[in-house]
Amino acid sequence: MKVILQNLTKTFPARGKKASADVTAVDNFSFEIPDGKLIGLLGPSGCGKSTTLSLICGLQKPTSGKIFFGEDDVTDLPPENRGVGMVFQNYALYPHLTVLGNITFPLENLRGKDKMSREQMNAKAKEVAALVQIENLLDRKPSELSGGQQQRVAIARALVKMPRVLLLDEPLSNLDARLRLQTREEIRRIQNETGITTVFVTHDQDEAMSISDMIVVMKSGVVQQIGAPQAVYNDPANLFVAKFLGTPPINVFDGTVRDGTLYIGDAAVLSAPGIKDGEVTVGVRPEGFIPDGNGALVCRQNRVEVMGRDVSVIASHPACRTESGVIRAIISAESDISAVADTVSFSLKPNKVFLFDREMEERIPCKLS
């Protein structure tokens, strides 16, 4: 089922005399979610992710704009008639019900031709419980489950009506790192097996990048960029997106373009043909640095960290504007780098370097070499 969001906007009115202006939680969001895909909705806290899901499932009404499921305009349809399964940010299970009771709960109030017998409900619940691998826990109460198991019960409960669209709001937020990794792979598997169009909200960019077919990056209610995870990483539309994706984050420098050459401080680092002279912001991915005795970018070397496969060089440079204040370069473990040197020189990989307008922070299209 494809889901079309058409100029979707949600404004919450200011409350009380002292309240500041209205909040536009979702601002003119248009996107056609392709059938059967998993979309990662990504952005900092308060950017409008949960509100977007509430609009799709019908718990909130848009201030303006429309929502279609396939050809059906569902904008005015109540949530229970939309065929949406949702796992909420705080996936609260009913504590007094068993796992089985929790999963069959959405089936209990089906009416008319959809009404199910107890046997049918239990059979259906067992089917989805098997999908999320909790079929041996059906008699337990939520308090007798681990966090990851509870989360899977919540997912089973969202799946039991075989929704047309599945919405998951930070479904892994309460899990430890390992379980998180495992559960996200499971979500990908379940999504593949069922083919249900899914929107997955997270503020963890690694999580979104690793399981999504496409990601949507939001900031203050406004969509910044939509695309395949790798495409967005390789080709960010603006500095916000460039900074948001990637661990460690992109390194940021003040730069200047003069006569077709890009400078960081006094160092002529790359050729930037066709770019007009002026000040720019330069983003360099951590993997964009090559230690090179003849490299133009001479930095003070603070330390070298070996972390598993990666070698990171932590360095500083007066033009560096990264929030942490330091440059973090990830280099090949085979690189010949002295851990005790005071300085390190880098040349830069042109396809790992992006230029941004200094003021507007929009990407400047260019071919660096």
> Between 51 and 70, how does the x/- string for binding to ligand ATP read (CB under 6 A)?
x-------------------
Residue 149 token pair: 């198991």
Of 19 and 341, nearer to ligand ATP (C-beta) is 19
Of 1-9, 12-20, 42-50, 270-278, which part binds Mg ion (CB under 5 A)? 42-50
Of 47 and 330, nearer to ligand ATP (C-beta) is 47
For the bound state, the minimum distance from the C-beta of residue 5 to ligand ATP, rounded and expressed in Å, comes to 14
Nearest to 40 by CA among 238, 234, 193, 172: 172
Q: Which does 337 bind (CB under 5 to 8 A by kind): ligand ATP, Mg ion, none?
A: none
Q: Which of 46, 101, 147, 350 binds ligand ATP (CB under 6 A)?
A: 46
Q: Is 19 in the site for ligand ATP (CB under 6 A)?
A: no
Q: Is 224 in the site for Mg ion (CB under 5 A)?
A: no
Of 103 and 209, nearer to ligand ATP (C-beta) is 209
How far apart, in whole angstroms, are the C-alpha atoms of residue 42 and residue 44? 7
The count of residues interacting with ligand ATP (CB under 6 A) is: 13
**Contact present, 307 and 279 (Cβ < 8 Å):** no
Reduce the DSSP state of residue 198 to 3 states and report it: strand
The count of residues interacting with Mg ion (CB under 5 A) is: 1
Count of other CB atoms within 10 angstroms of residue 122: 17
Q: Which does 12 bind (CB under 5 to 8 A by kind): Mg ion, ligand ATP, none?
A: ligand ATP
Q: Is 20 in the site for ligand ATP (CB under 6 A)?
A: no
How far apart, in whole angstroms, are the C-alpha atoms of residue 235 and residue 241? 9
Reduce the DSSP state of residue 277 to 3 states and report it: coil
Count of other CB atoms within 10 angstroms of residue 53: 24
Q: Which of 5, 38, 42, 49 binds ligand ATP (CB under 6 A)?
A: 49
How far apart, in whole angstroms, are the C-alpha atoms of residue 237 and residue 357? 11
- Terminal-residue alpha carbon distance, the chain: 44
How far apart, in whole angstroms, are the C-alpha atoms of residue 336 and residue 317? 21
Q: Is 203 in the site for ligand ATP (CB under 6 A)?
A: yes
Name beta bridge partners: 268. Answer: 263
Q: Which does 46 bind (CB under 5 to 8 A by kind): ligand ATP, Mg ion, none?
A: ligand ATP
**Contact present, 225 and 252 (Cβ < 8 Å):** no
Residue 25 token pair: 């939680």
Q: Is 54 in the site for Mg ion (CB under 5 A)?
A: no
Q: Which of 43, 48, 50, 248 binds Mg ion (CB under 5 A)?
A: 50
Residue ranges in contact with ligand ATP by CB under 6 A: 12, 23, 25, 43, 45-51, 89, 203
